[in-house]
Amino acid sequence: MDARRIIATVRDGGTPSREELGWFAAGLADGGVTDAQAGAFAMAVLLRGLSEEGRVALTLAMRDSGQRLSWDLPGPALDKHSTGGIGDCVSLVLAPALAACGAYVPMISGRGLGHTGGTLDKLESIPGVTTLLDEARFRDTVGKAGCAIVAASAAIAPADRRLYAVRDVSATVESLDLITASILSKKLAAGLDGLVLDVKTGSGAFMKSEEDARGLAEALVSTANAAGCPTAAVLSDMNQPLVPSLGNALEVAEAMRVLTGAASGPLAEITAVLGGVVLCGGGLAPDVDTGAAAVAKAIASGAAAEAFGRMIAAQGGPLGFVEDWARFLPEATVIREVAAPATGYVAGFAGEALGLTVVGLGGGRQVESDTVDPSVGISDILPMGAWVEKGQPLARVHAARTDGADRAVAEVQAAVTLSDTRPEAPRLIRDRIGP
């Protein structure tokens, strides 16, 4: 086969055969396809698109370019993927809640990307925790704790690893077909029996418009189901932080408050909805509402917290983390209040700007080699609709140094919109897509 012919087929609006896409994905994985050819292919897909048949074939080819896991467990292997947002620590609550409901969750997650935090970085803010597990330890943790949250090994979907790096430097990240294949190739390689997708829309999401988010959700759901993995998606709001904190250790604290019954709110709500969808799809609940109720019960009873504790211990963390979690999480050396510059209602957030403020504090990576400071971030962020007097705190900045804190305070003030009119609170759950 010839990479040039495959690229030309896409360039001219055609769809390469499944065999051709399989050959191309194998070439991405083993170096038989050059960077120039990978970039040309990505640009052709961005500009001309693939048919649904082609998108499914590309996803399966990238899945099959490396190792595929399979599971022999007494319950279904279920998982969740989020398209990313600010204050999104759902995985830390949902994975153990699903485990408490009889599922097994082999969650392969990622690190921070752009303005959004990464689940792996959040989990690693707990002392001793490692997300770099070999296959034997990964399997043992899933089997004994019911869930594990780990980084993808180099053997999982290597074609995606290569193509993603090329897309990042060739202005082709935005392709709906390539986003779909990238997300699903890794998830499908994990050998799942069911998947739920949290597709976010709003100022703090990658997909700012609901139309774009819906298009991505529909592409993901149709492709995953065509590939044989029962999948549904939830469209959720990201016009304000999901929890009132941004930053790795700060978001772990928010997750622990929900798991231990000290807090409720949007995090608990969306966890129940997503859990209900995937429990239903995985055959552990007769319908979504029953599944959501089971997830809420698992959290309220403490069963989810117990599963989280087992996972943390199995991945190298403290044995008594759940019982005394605040003692273990790192704290920033400088904490500053963000004073409201005027009186009014909190009417909106520049969500991406807030996320980038945390990155600037050291809570994320500006280049891949950056070291993440798990203690920094923003906490106590007032929600939309809250009334604040001039000079009262809008939030608190957690920083390593005073100059960083001063800069972050100004950035948070600029990212929050105040109004004389109380805004209508956005609906957290916009829609559900799929069976």
Set 15, 55, 59, 81: catalytic member: 81
Report the range of poorest mean pLDDT among 19-23, 76-80, 117-121.
117-121
Tell me if residue 82 is catalytic.
yes
Task: Tell me what the pLDDT averaged over the chain comes to.
Answer: 94
Rounded Cα distance, 89 and 95, in Å: 11
Catalytic entry in 15, 65, 82, 109? 82
Residue 13 burial class via C-beta count within 10 angstroms: exposed 0-12, middle 13-18, buried 19 and up: exposed
Q: Distance (Å, rounded) from C-alpha 150 to C-alpha 255?
A: 18
310 has a pLDDT exceeding 90: yes
Q: Read off the amino acid at residue 38.
A: A
Q: What is the pLDDT of residues 139-155, one digit of tens each?
A: 999 999 999 999 988 89
As a dihedral over the C-alpha atoms of residue 384, residue 296, residue 289, residue 145, rounded to 10 degrees, the angle is 120
pLDDT band at 247 (very low <50, low <70, confident <90, very high): very high
Verify whether residue 375 is a known catalytic residue.
no
Q: How far is CA 101 from CA 6, 138, 217, 284, 360, in A?
A: 46, 20, 26, 8, 39
**Does residue 313 surpass a pLDDT of 70?**
yes
Angle between helices 176-189 and 52-63 (to 10 degrees): 40
SS3 77: strand
Beta pairing, strands 194-201 & 78-82: parallel
Who has greater pLDDT, 364 or 177?
177
Give residue-wise pLDDT tens across range 60-100. Answer: 999 999 999 999 999 999 999 999 889 999 999 999 999 99
119 is catalytic: yes
Q: Are 389 and 346 in contact (CB under 8 A)?
A: no
Catalytic, 167? Answer yes
**pTM, full prediction:** 0.93
Nearest to 15 by CA among 44, 42, 58, 50: 50
Quote the pLDDT of residue 369.
Answer: 67
Catalytic residue among 63, 187, 200, 336: 187
Pairing assessment for the beta strands 387-388 and 344-349 based on DSSP bridges: antiparallel
Identify the DSSP state of 233. E
Q: How far is CA 126 from CA 3, 99, 296, 338, in A?
A: 46, 20, 25, 27
The answer to whether residue 186 is catalytic is yes
Structural element, H or E, at residue 181:
helix 176-189
E-assigned strand segments in 44-142: 78-82, 105-109
pLDDT of residue 113: 61
Mind listing the pLDDT tens digit for each residue in 373-401?
999 999 999 999 999 999 999 999 999 99
Catalytic residue among 59, 109, 116, 119: 119
At residue 416, the pLDDT reads: 97
